[in-house]
Structure 1
């Protein structure tokens, strides 16, 4: 099933970030976890299947996306909801591990709000870009956003292609979301030395 990249899609992805992922992330950050999260939505009607957040204090592999997949496959939903019929939403552009997990799980897409550069520059979490450079020799944005496994799309790229009257309300909502993540980032950075996450 094709995904139509329009204002309705973006509005729904932003709503899920603001109302489903962010509350979980606030709790996760309070436990010492990073700010990353994700959600699964049905392509057919954009309804929410599941949302989750980072849980690296339990296991350093439980990035937001991988922890979401773990919880999904531990749920009866995984027997009822084919991944090919779902949208994968990531709050931040997925790292190389999470991109691979998305592919291995059979998703043909992912959408993200913050970029790798945002993770480094706005949130002082540079590991995604460092991994791309050190392991794969890639510069920022150097991976194939369209490949045999999935199509990766930044939400702001979709907004930029919309008419102004459709884009502006979405940008207003995005600004609210950015402000909440900035507060969560400050909370995480102020306490990160208290946890045992290897790459904090």
Structure 2
């Protein structure tokens, strides 16, 4: 059974914690990908971050979040097995590996690889999966010995109304904000030196 309160909380974190950081990141020339870490027990936010590829092309939203997480004093960090990993967009191969190597047993995402390609004009995730790993869209194992992944949109789609309609309206509002961020990034990306912009 889908936990509606968890979906609401994840959307809250995207809207109120990841998006504000992403607004700043896009203004600095970065892509619009962000991530957060929450405690499983009370769903409190540990950390939210965004893409910082203008500093280092490896600092994708998820990897930059993990970098910042491991810069925290150990006493302030939650064990990754006791945490929820949240990504604004379906993680690319680099970020999938980083989530795996850091021991998370789950991740949730709002926008799919196809959304990154089609809605946000950032096709690199799918191109790399195809060129390097010969995987078609959706070809990686979304549930494996390391973690289970969850598309927030698919979870919402499985719900009955009125909750489905209410949550789809929330997602629509968040998506409109990401459309604005995407337009800003696309308009300025020629000015940065990110290798795969």
Q: TM-score normalized by structure 1?
A: 0.96
Q: Is residue 157 from structure 1 mapped to residue 130 from structure 2 by the alignment? A: no
> Could you tell me which residue of structure 2 aligns to residue 131 of structure 1?
128
Deviation of residue 167 (structure 1)? 1.4
What RMSD in Å do the two structures reach over aligned CA positions? 1.1
Of residues 23, 37, 40, the one that matches 2:37 is 40
| 1: CA distance, partners of 2:12 / 2:76 | 26
**Change over 3 Å in CA distance of 1:80–1:182 after alignment to 2:** closer
Q: Which shifted more, 77-86 or 67-76?
A: 77-86
Render the CA deviation track for 1:88-116: whole Å, top value 9, x for unaligned: 00000000010000000000000000000
C-alpha deviation, 1:163, in angstroms? 1.5
Counterparts of 2:89 and 2:75 in 1: how far apart (Å)? Answer: 23
- For the residues of structure 1 that align with 2:35 and 2:181, how far apart are their CA atoms? 16
Contact 1:6 1:162 in 2 (8 A): no
Say if 1:88 and 1:111, in contact at 8 Å, map to a contact too.
yes
Give unmatched runs, 5+ long, in structure 1: none
Work out the CA distance in 1 between the residues paired with 2:196 and 2:116.
13
Contact between 1:42 and 1:86, CA under 8 Å: does it hold in 2?
yes
Structure-1 residue corresponding to 2:100: 103
The TM-score with structure 2 as length reference comes to 0.98
Does structure 2 conserve the Cα–Cα contact (< 8 Å) formed by 1:53 and 1:64?
yes
Q: Which runs of 4+ in 1 moved over 3 A?
A: 77-80
Compute the displacement of 1:168 (Å). Answer: 1.5
Partner residue, 1:22: 19
Contact (CA 8 Å) 1:60, 1:198: kept in 2 or not? yes
- Paired with 1:143 and 1:178, the residues of 2 have a C-alpha distance of 25
CA distance, structure 2, for counterparts of residue 91 and residue 52 of structure 1: 10
Shift of 1:77: 5.0
For the 8 Å contact 2:69–2:77, the answer to whether it is kept is no
Alignment partners' CA distance in 1, 2:120 and 2:186 = 8
Give unpaired runs (5+ residues) of structure 2: none
Q: Give the number of equivalent residue pairs.
A: 197
